[in-house]
Amino acid sequence: MKINIINTSEHELPHYETLASAGMDLRAKIDSPITLKPLERAIVKTGLFIELPIGFEAQVRPRSGLAAKKGVTVLNAPGTIDADYRGEIGVILINLSQEEFSVENGERIAQLVIAKHERAEWNLVEELSETKRGEGGFGSTGTK
């Protein structure tokens, strides 16, 4: 599948690093470093604008290395970019560490995953079918 993209940054287009990669790295396009204090968040622009086909979304997800090594993640993970959005892709980063973190221009800040999705219609009913799980939630299916 080909997706139209505008790149206003000096960085290469997002790409898959391996044949089996699901995500492509997004890089920061900023004029000067952004310093995130502990628990601080910021929208970091990428310089990328995309035109997705209807029936697809782009998911903005954290980079595992950035999260594990620096405690920095995507706040609304996964962030969703809808097919009708034409604005610049921004990444909401949050610093969950106890140290300041500086985002540099060109730094890999998130991953972008392109995914097909379905649209649902609601069918209003008076009751739902029964299952073994029933109303059990939040860990109710785990072993003890």
Q: Per-residue pLDDT for the chain (144 aa), expressed as one digit of tens each?
A: 999 999 999 999 999 999 999 999 999 999 999 999 999 999 999 999 999 999 999 999 999 999 999 999 999 999 999 999 999 999 999 999 999 999 999 999 999 999 999 999 999 999 999 998 888 777 666 665
AA letter at 81: I
Write down the pLDDT at residue 16: 97
Residue 133 pLDDT: 84
The CATH architecture to which 4-116 belongs is: Distorted Sandwich (2.70)
pLDDT the model gives residue 143: 61
The region that residue 10 occupies, defined by phi over 0 for left and psi between -120 and 50 for alpha, beta otherwise, is: alpha
Domains in the chain: boundaries: 4-116
Return the SS3 of 69.
Answer: helix
Q: What is the largest CA-CA distance in the chain?
A: 57
Residues 6+ apart with CB under 8 A from 27: 9, 11, 14, 46, 106, 107, 108, 109
